[in-house]
Chains A and B, each alone.
Chain A
Amino acid sequence: MAVIETVELTKYYGINRGIENLNLTIEEGEVFGFLGPNGAGKTTTIRLLMAILFPTRGTASVLGKNAWRDSAAIKEEIGNLPGDLNLYEKMRGEEFLNFIARFRPRKPPVLKKELVDRFDLDLKRRIKEYSKGNRQKLGIIQAVMHDPKLLLLDEPTSGLDPLMQQEFYHLVKELKSRGCTIFISSHILPEIEKVCDRVGIIKEGSLVAIERIDTLISKKVRYIDVIFDNPVNPDDFRLPGVISIDKVNNHLRLTLKGEIDELIKKLAQYKVRDIISTHASLEEIFLEFYGKGGPSER
């Protein structure tokens, strides 16, 4: 069953484009990553699905119901973490979670205690005293505590420290194993890779591609900067997956697409002074795989 289905979903803010002709189907139990740079239309999409915005044209169904007409009923089963997370500053953490919980008398906050412990959050303090990370934790807890069927998370790890990010990734995997469908919007590719089954890449309001994560990984571009002790012959590194080599003195910049294992083994034969691996930016992936092409589904 499609938990989220959009057909030609389009939103314009006056003459400014939000999203355009978004066709998206997300199945039950799937963890879907929505990847794109800032301003691409990720938040607009989530706000449309949450009926906070109304579409210029197109339709959207969530949990089999009309996203706008049946909005209140749908939200009984949804947890939403907004990207621009603004909470009631004067409330204490506990008071806020209780306030949110009372909106769903039929869905008690069964995961609240567990989540508070996992994220190590002090609920006695006022929200205005919380750090950005603690606000984000509170945002995650309020979205998840009633064990929703669908989670919409907009930039969920924003402000979380690395340990808490790991905790969040574990949580997503656990929720997936419980059958929860999760829609994560992010501009961080490694984050999406870690937890998602599929990824939709959005650029300038249009869906550029939808890929399975394993397919994306096989296409992933990395830059490997290697500084050798002695001069080397660049041709020795023309291995499968290496798509370009640039040489400056003892420094080689290798552009690699796909698995890194063979290159590492080759490098092990040389005396290497330093090695740096960086992922290609989203923009570079777009240019590499999709160019400026229109929407396509794979």
Chain B
Amino acid sequence: MNANLFIKSLKEIRVSWTSYAIGLMFYVYLLISVYPSIQERAKDFQKIFENYPEGFLRFFSGGSGVADITSPEGFLSIEIFAFMWFVIIGAFVIAYGTGAIGKEIDSGTIEILLSQPITRTSAIISKGLTLFGGTAALVFITMASTYLFSLIVDLTIKPEGILALAAVGALFFLAVAAYSLFFSVLLSERGHAAFASAGILIAMYLLTSLKQYATWAEKLDVISLFHYYNSAQLLTTGDIPLKSTLVYAGTTIFFVAASILVFSRRDIAP
């Protein structure tokens, strides 16, 4: 790892990262603040909730099987740690993941960078650490905000549930970050890399959300990262599933190694 490049990369994302962090905190606050009114009319909301088609609910919960929206875990799962959360953090992860190396190639600064005494492996690790650190920090900020705001509105959740979701959520987004990084070194244009990364994330989301409607989707669901994510269960049990951990960590390690391998061997011509 090259400390000089790592610090420069941190400086590069400080504005966008801070914006995302503030946005996430505001998003969490906004949603949690409506919880008391939902709880006051719990029966009505539950009735409305039960009338929604199951597929609709599955779609917006990223495949989590939420049974009760008025319970703290159900509410948080479907309102916060589902569709919009993936959109917000996914946007950051894909934008920075594909830009980490892709932006240097696109702007042509890669030639100046690689003219310095730094190995390509070191360059990608320095950029990758910023990406992974920034991603994990956003996940933990969401969780910390959730926990703190929950205390304010009297929404009782298990600390171990939040920790479990933080760990699995961070691993989930690290896997997305890793394959985004891979596309950024594989494809010459950042736009193509972002398109591919976002396309895969959306495809996986659809696969898991709609698996009950098509046999082929059900069969393919195991390759979706969302298959191994169930926020309601994580919040309720506080247990970190070994399978999810292995899949996410394995995906991350695989794509980081592939990124290093590809980047170390490819021509870089701005």
- Residues of A near any B CB (own CB < 8 A): 13, 47, 50-54, 71-76, 78, 80, 82, 84-89, 99-100, 102-104, 142-143
Contacts and interface: CB of A to CB of B under 8 A. Distances in A.
Given A86-B109, A88-B109, A102-B4, A50 B115 contact: yes
Contacts of A50: 111, 114-115
A204 B266 CA distance: 24
B115 A54 contact: no
Nearest to A48: B267
B88 interface: no
A104 B114 contact: no
A75 B116 contact: yes
Interface in B227-268: 265-268
B112 A52 contact: no
Contacts of A86: 107-109, 111-112, 270
Contact of B269 (A53, A73, A87, A88): A53
Contacts of A53: 267-269
B87 to A, nearest CB: 27
Main secondary structure of the interface of A (DSSP, over half): loop
A178 B115 CA distance: 22
Interface residues on B, range: 20 to 34
27 contacts: A50-B115, A52-B110, A52-B267, A52-B269, A54-B267, A72-B119, A72-B122, A73-B117, A75-B115, A76-B117, A78-B115, A82-B111, A82-B112, A82-B115, A84-B108, A84-B111, A84-B270, A85-B112, A87-B112, A88-B112, A99-B4, A99-B8, A103-B2, A103-B4, A103-B117, A103-B118, A143-B115
B114 A51 contact: yes
Contacts, number: 66
Contacts of A47: 111, 269
B61 to A, nearest CB: 40
A294 B114 CA distance: 33
A52 B117 contact: no
Nearest 3 interchain pairs by C-beta: A86-B108, A103-B116, A80-B115
A107 to B, nearest CB: 9
A142 B111 CA distance: 13
Main secondary structure of the interface of B (DSSP, over half): loop
Nearest to B12: A90
A32 to B, nearest CB: 19
Interface string B97-136: 0000000000111111011111100100000000000000
A80 B8 CA distance: 21
Contacts of A99: 4, 8
Nearest to B3: A102
Contacts of B118: 72, 75, 103
Contacts of B8: 99
A36 B62 CA distance: 59
A246 B187 CA distance: 57
A275 B24 CA distance: 75
A100 B117 CA distance: 10
Given A53-B267, A72-B119, 12 more contacts: A51-B114, A72-B118, A72-B122, A73-B117, A74-B117, A76-B117, A78-B115, A82-B115, A86-B107, A87-B109, A88-B112, A142-B112
Interface in B60-76: none
Contact of A71 (B107, B110, B119, B266): B119
Nearest to A88: B109
B7 to A, nearest CB: 9
